Amino acid sequence: MNSILIGGMGNVLLGDDGLGPYVLRLLESEYTFDEEIELADLGTPALDLTHRIAGRRGVILIDCIASEDHAPGTVLLYDKKALLSAIPAQRLDPHSPALSECLLTAEMLGATPDRVWLVGVVGASFEPGKTLSSTVRASIWKVVDAVIYELKRLGVKVEKKLHSDKLGVWWADEDSLTVAELP
């Protein structure tokens, strides 16, 4: 098993909710990673996320989040302590991400990941059939930078590719973000 998971969470058919899978594809197209890294499109996980995170040295999850305290497009980073301090809310449907519940379950099993981060971007639009909003797209490279930074803190070797691979996203305009837009 790879010891570090980078997971993109979200539903690609619901506008900004597709952020996680989009950033995951962007990371795959722009960087090469040590073999200890697993990049995974997690979709809209529920309690099944526990088996994906249990026993890992590190977990970095990317997701679009809702916040009344922050403007759309704001990038927020939550560590394991912050995620565990959140009281699990009542689940509204079987696809609701249950990150804190999964971390607690892994902890009860004695297999909690050593380090966990959630890189979240406050969403602007979750309309069915829409692509990422311009507000969230403008934050994507900040998310990529946050993921790379956390990997380097874990001591993982990350290399920028000389030539980007094709993104391969069928749900969004592949040309909406190019290497030329890197800061």
Taking CB atoms within 8 Å and a gap of at least 24, the contacts of 143-150 are 143/19, 143/23, 143/62, 143/75, 143/119, 144/23, 144/26, 144/27, 144/30, 146/75, 146/77, 146/119, 147/6, 147/23, 147/27, 147/60, 147/62, 147/119, 148/31, 150/58, 150/60, 150/117, 150/119
- Give tens-digit pLDDT for 99-141: 888 888 898 898 989 899 999 999 999 889 889 999 999 999 9
SS3 33: strand
Q: For residue 167, name the pLDDT band (cuts at 50, 70, 90).
A: confident
* pLDDT category of residue 148 using cuts at 50, 70 and 90: very high
CA distance linking residue 135 with residue 148, whole number of Å: 22
**pLDDT of residue 157 exceeding 80:** yes
The amino acid sitting at 88 is: P
What is the reported pLDDT for 95?
Answer: 44
Could you give all domains of the chain from N- to C-terminal order, each with its CATH number?
A: 4-163 (3.40.50.1450)
Share of the chain above pLDDT 70, in %: 85
Confidence at residue 155, expressed as pLDDT on a 0 to 100 scale: 92
The pTM is what?
A: 0.87
